[in-house]
Structure 1
Amino acid sequence: MKNFVDIQGISSSQLRNILEDSAYLKKSRTKLLRGELDTEPALSGRIVALLFKKPSTRTRFSFDVGITQMGGKSISISSNEMQLSNAEKMTDTAQVLSQYVDMVVLRTDDHNDLLDLTENFAAPVINGLSNLSHPCQVLADIFTFEELVGSIKGKKVVWLGDGNNVCNSYVQAAEKFDFEFVYSGPKAYKPDNVKGSLYYGYEKDPENAVESADLLVTDTWFSMHQTEVERSKRAILMKDYCITEGLLRSAKSECLIFHCMPIYREKEISTQVVDQFFKVFLSQAENRLHVQKSIMKWCFS
C-alpha cells in the first residue's frame, strides 16, 4: 500500500502508469450510467473516509462518485463534525480511523496534518489539497493536456498570478514529466519549492512569459481566510497578470488555458477568455474523477 501525498515523492514511471490507467478507466465507462459500477470494481469491500477541513466542490464530488463507481463506500465529513474541532490531535484521530476505514482522503489548510496522518494511519492517505500542494489537480491537468494536445514533454507551461499550492505541484510535475515551467507574477507570491529546480523559470513581465507558451494556467488570487484588505492588496499587485485576450495573443495560436476553478472573472482571468475555454475547464473537472480513481487503485497496488 502507498500514500499519494506529493508528486515529488512518486517516480516518473509510476505517475505515467497512473495516467495510462486513468485513460483506461475513462474509456471503460463510455456506455455506463454514472451510478453503475466499473466493470472491475477495484474498491469492492473498501471504506474510504473523505476528511475535509476546507470547503470543496470538485474534490468532494469527484472522489465520492469515484469511490461509488469502484464499488467502495465513502464517509464524507468535515473537521467541524469531529473532535479535531475540539483540539484532538491528528495523530490520535489517525490511529482511531485506522480501526474503521481503509483509506483517508484529506483536504486541509495545514500540510503537517498530512504528515501526521501518514505516520499514524495504517492504510493509504491521499492529499486532496493542502496549503502547500494539490497533486490530484495537477496530475488531472496533465492528463487533460495530453488528452487534448498530446505529450506534455518539452512543452512550455506558464503560471500567471499567485504561486499557490497548485503552482507548487506544477513545479514538482515539471521535473517528473520533463516540461518547462515558468512563473509570472509578483515576486512576493512566487512558489515555495523552486530552489535547485532545472525546469523552473521566473519572468516578471507577463507578455514575455507567455511568448511561445503551449499552456497558460491560473487560479484564484484569493483564499477564504483573507480579509477584504488583504484581497484588495493582492488584486492591485496582480492586476497585470490577468489572462486576457490581449495577453493570449502573445502565446502560441493553439495555446490552451487551464483554470481549476472557482473562477473570479475579471480578476485572474477575463470573462471573454473564460467563455472561450470553459469547456476545457469542464474537461479538467471531469478528469479529476478518472485520475483520482486511478490514484486510489495505485495506492492499493
Structure 2
Amino acid sequence: MANALFLYDCQSDRGALSGGSWAPALPLANLQNERLEKITRSADLALASTLMHVALAAPLEMRALALGPSNLTTGYSRRVRAWADSGRTALLHDSGWVRGAAQAPWNTLNWSDPAFWDGYQPWDDDERGMWLIYIPDQPVVAQYWTIEIDDRNNSDGHLDFGRLFMGRAWQPSLNYTYSGNGLSLQENSVKASTLAGGLVVGRRINPRVFRCAFDYLPEIELFGQVYDFQRVTGFDGQVFVIPDPEDDQYLQRRAFLSTATRMDALTQAVFARGGTAFEFREVI
C-alpha cells in the first residue's frame, strides 16, 4: 500500500490543448470545464483522432494525471509522453503502450466467465464512466505532454471525456490512520410520500465519500504543504483523490474527482508533529 495522493490546483485548466480530431461542438476545451456534463468527443476511433497534446503554462512535477469520466472500454490502451520542448522533439518520459484497465488475478474468475482467460471484465458501473488514471513510477517534471488512447473496438464509435486533471500534488509523508477513514456512498435519492402513506424513491447517482485522518505529520509539512493544500483548494476547488496509488485492482472504485466537505484544523499533537482530517465528496 502506497501513501494516499491528492491532486489539486488543476494546472491543465490554464494550459493549451491541441491535437487529435474532436467534434467541433464538443471540443478539447471542454476538458477544462469543471462541469463533467460538458464533454469532449473524438470524431472517430482512429489513433490520430484520439490523442491530445497538453502545453502547460509552466513546468509541473506530475505525480499523476486523470482523464475522465469516459466511455472507455476495459480493452483500451494508453500512452503518456512528456517533452522538453514545445516542438515535442526532445523526449523526457514515455510510458509506452499499456492496457489501462485492471486485470483480474489469474484463476480468480469462474471458468464460465467470458473474461476467464484474459482477466479483463467489461465495465460494470453504468452510473459512472471509467477514468484513465496514469501514475508514473517517479514524478516527471515537464511542461509539454502527449496523451494517446487506443480503444478502436469501442462500439460507440467515438471516445467521450469529461475532465482532464493535471495539477499540483500532495502525498503525505505518513499515510492516513486506520481509524477515522472510510469509503462510503452518500444517499442522494429523491423521495416522496404518497397519499396512501407509501414512499416513492427515485434513484440518483449516490456520490462516493472518502474520509481520512492524519495524526502525526511533521510540523514542517503540516504548516507548509498541508496548509497550502487547504488554502488553495478550499471547499470549491476540485481534488482528485487516490487513496492508494498501488491498488491497481480497485483503483477505479477508490479514486475519484471530488471537492472537500470537511477540512479539520491543523493541530499540534506532540512535539514537532501534528494532524488534521478531511472528507471528500465525489463530483457527479
Question: Which TM-score band (shorter chain)?
Answer: under 0.3
Given the two structures, how large is their TM-score scaled by the length of structure 2? Answer: 0.25
Structure index of larger Rg: 2
Larger proportion of helix: 1
Between 1 and 2, higher relative CO (CA 8 Å, sep ≥ 6) is seen in 2
